[in-house]
Amino acid sequence: MSSETLIAVSKLSRYYGKFCALREVSFEVKRGQVLGFLGPNGAGKTTTMQLITGTLAPSAGEITVAGYDLLEQPLQAKAALGYLPEQPPLYRDMLVSEYLRFCAELHQVPRAEINKAVNYAAGRCGLGEVFSRLIGNLSKGYQQRVGIAQAIIHNPAVVILDEPTVGLDPIQIREIRNLIRELGEDHSVILSTHILPEVQAVCNHVQIIKNGALVLNDTIDGLLAQMQSNSLQIGLRRLPTDLQGFAQLLGVESVEMIDAQHLRIGHSAAHNPAEAIAEYAVTQGLGLFELRPEQRSLEQIFVDLTCTEPEVMEEVA
């Protein structure tokens, strides 16, 4: 895995009239990264993708794809891109094979290699059975797969997928996720989605965007570390009336009652008091039946980051 930067976006802004959809966003994607792009509706995910693929012109800022400036050398930059828009760009009156062939030609795959490219893309996306059927007659899931095949047919360095698993059944979703993971090994992949587990499943980088500004840009590992919060949840059959006993254990910083049988115990990062709590609970005969570290889910982080009230909005502005 080389660390060559394939996409570099700096201070990218986009206005629709006076409405600012994207404000000075900067990030980089390296080869071998699968970047998950998250955000609530209207946050600017699709706009960012359209800007990177050149289907929208930026109001300000620079985009470099595979070393080519998108505005200065659009053709070279676009040749390194594969793009699946939100709505797959399919010609309903063409056969799958014809369509893929057309896409290969459009992306300047050398004539001698077109057949190979078409078969490769069709094979990768599981299109063998529908290869000679009319696109208009395919189910939504298959159409989506044709759209993905179209995006990878010319073996681009960068693959950009806008909500690629919409409308697929669970088995197909798994296949597509595997495909994306495989693609991520030797390409850069940017994918936008609102399915949070998907990000955890396939991405190694995460960006969360809100109101046109990046609010989080981290690796999945970093995010997982953030998700480890310093608290334990314990369940006791016979809750003591006095909680002081817990508070005196080493490392415990706070004790909070959740309901009649559960306590939340906050602890310092240095000392995890789980063992001490268990011993204490046993010696006191409290009927310990549950003891688990609390984890913030990705969903919680997402909600925390995107649903905070206006003061963050001002900070962004």
Partner 1 sequence: MWSIAKRELQALFLSPLAWSILAVVQIILGLVFAVRVSMFLEPDFQAQLSQVANPPGITSLIAGHVYVWASIVFMLVTPLLTMRVVSEERRNKTLALLISAPVSMTQIILGKYLALLIFFGIMASVISLMPLSLLVGGALDMGQLFSGFLGLLLLTAAFAAIGLYISTLTAHPTVAAISTFGSLLLLWMIDWAGGSEEQSGLLGYLSLTNHYQMFLKGLLSTSDAFYYLLLISLFLILSIQRLDADRI
Task: Name which position in 20, 79, 227, 303 contacts partner 1 (CB under 8 A).
Answer: 79
CB of 57 to partner 1, least distance (A): 4
| Integer Cα distance of 123 and 132 in angstroms | 13
- Note whether 210 and 23 are within 8 A (CB): no
CB of 75 or CB of 270, closer to partner 1: 75
Question: What is the rounded CA–CA span in Å between residue 142 and residue 125?
Answer: 9
Residues near 191 by Cβ (< 8 Å), separated by ≥ 6?
34, 35, 36, 37, 160, 161, 162, 163, 164, 180, 202, 203
Mark residues 29-68: x for contact with partner 1 by CB under 8 A, - for none: ---------------------x--xxxxx-----------
- What minimum distance in Å lies between the beta carbon of 105 and partner 1? 4
Q: In the set 32, 40, 67, 89, which binds partner 1 (CB under 8 A)?
A: 89
Kindly indicate which of the ranges 29-37, 87-95, 207-215, 259-267 contains the residues binding partner 1, using the contact rule CB under 8 A: 87-95
Q: Using the rule CB under 8 A, is 69 a contact of partner 1?
A: no
75 binds partner 1 (CB under 8 A): yes
Q: What long-range pairs does 166-170 form, CB within 8 A, spacing at least 24? A: 167/140, 167/141, 167/143, 168/141, 168/144, 169/141
Nearest by Cα to 272 from 232, 225, 233, 243: 232
Task: By CB under 8 A, tell whether 28 contacts partner 1.
Answer: no
What letters, b where the CB count within 10 A reaches 16 and e where it falls short, cover 273-307?
Answer: bbebbeebbeeeebebeebeeeebebeebbeebbe
According to the binding rule CB under 8 A, does residue 300 interact with partner 1?
no
Which residue number, 112 or 260, has a Cβ lying nearer to partner 1?
112
- Pick out residues in 139-168 that bind partner 1 (CB under 8 A): 150
Q: Which of 11, 92, 116, 238 binds partner 1 (CB under 8 A)?
A: 92
Token pair 């998700």 is found at 227
Coil/strand/helix, residue 150: helix
| Options 67, 85, 245, 251; binder of partner 1; rule CB under 8 A | 85
Does the protein bind partner 1 through residue 76 (CB under 8 A)? yes
- Residues found near partner 1 in the complex (CB under 8 A): 50, 53-57, 74-76, 78-79, 81, 83, 85, 87, 89-94, 98, 102-103, 105-108, 150
